[in-house]
Each structure stands twice: as C-alpha cells, then as structure tokens.
Structure 1
Amino acid sequence: MAVEVAYATSERQRLIAVSLAANSTVEHAIAASGILREFPEIDLSQQKVGIFGLVCSLDKTVSADDRVEIYRPLRQNPMDARRGRLQK
C-alpha cells in the first residue's frame, strides 16, 4: 500500500511516498521513508506524529493513501502569541 511521510522546517518541506506491507505502522512508514537520515534533528521520542492532522501514536496502523506527518515543537504557545499581537 502507498502512503506519504511529510515533514517541514521553516526552510524546506519534504513529502516522501513509500510503499508498505499491510498492517504497517506509522513508525514503519517513517523508517521506510528515510526521513530520519535527511533530518537528523527529528526526535520521535519527543515530537508528535499524526495522520492528516490528527495526532496519533507511532504504533497506529496506517491505511492506503494516508499522509503520516511529523510535527515540530512549537516555539511559542499560540495563546501567548495571540495575546502579544493583541497588546500591540
């Protein structure tokens, strides 16, 4: 089955198509994509992952045509950022 693995930094973004066996997990998709070699700063023990914008665990089974996403940590709490913009 075909799935995509996505990751983006502020400088560039990557979307990698991979072919997996049935009953593969999010972790299998990430490993098969090779994205961890391309972006060594990714730490799956700290960063969240998801499928089409919904956070999930690494052991979640993927379905055909899913997009597995690796999320970067937030630099600032969104509520604090909004308060700062409102105060200006």
Structure 2
Amino acid sequence: MDKQSIVVEVVYALPDRQWLISLTVPRGATVREAALRCGLDRHFPGLDLANSPLGIFGKAVPRPEERELETGDRVEIYRPLIADPKEVRKRRAEKAARFRVGEEAGG
C-alpha cells in the first residue's frame, strides 16, 4: 500500500450472516465510493449501493458522498427497517401494561 491509498472495511449484514470486505481505496475516497467499490451488489441483486443509507462504526453518515474515509474506517451498509422502532416499543409497552393488569386481577 502506498501513501496515496488507505485500507478500510465494508460490512453488510443480514439477520443470519455478515459480510466483511477489506478494501484499498485512494486517499480522499468517500463513504459512498467505498460502498460502490466493494461489489456486494453483485451478490445481492436488490442491494442498491448508490442509494443505501451508510454509516461508519455504527453512526449514520448523513452525506456519504461527501464524507472522506480515514484509514481503518468500517463502512456499514444499512438495510431498510422492516418495522418502525417507535411502533415496536409502543406495542411492547402496551403488551407489558396488559400483562401487569392481568397480574393485578389475580391472573
């Protein structure tokens, strides 16, 4: 590796598997460029790397086309959410409340 390139990782996870690719990119490459270069879309036809939300080490990157990478960064390709997390928490709280009411009624 020369001084004009850096090594980063690109990761994509499904519920049952994770793919991690080590990638050498030119210094100044952006988060989006690394995602596009990783080639995971060849293995996952529905994966749209040009528009997928991206992050670095668990933090979403609002403008991945502008954010330049640093040596050792881990680019994360995010999947669309299946359910709204707020709705899931609300339903869980409602279920817990119903359970508590049942216990108080002698259940």
TM-score by length of 1: 0.87
Deviation, 1:43, is: 1.8
Moved over 4 A (4+): none
1:31 partnered with 2:53: no
Q: Is the 8 A contact 1:30 1:36 kept in 2?
A: no
In structure 2, the residue corresponding to 1:85 is in which secondary structure? Answer: helix
- The corresponding residue for 2:48 is 43
Question: More relative contact order in 1 or in 2 (CA 8 Å, sep 6+)?
Answer: 1
Which sections of structure 1, spanning at least 5 residues, go unmatched? Answer: none
1:62 partnered with 2:69: yes
- Match 2:79 to one of 72, 76, 81: 72
Task: Report the number of matched residues.
Answer: 88
Q: Is the 8 A contact 2:11 2:21 kept in 1?
A: yes
Pick which of 36-45 and 14-23 moved more: 36-45
What is the RMSD of the two structures over their aligned residues, measured on CA atoms?
1.5
Deviation, 1:32, is: 2.3
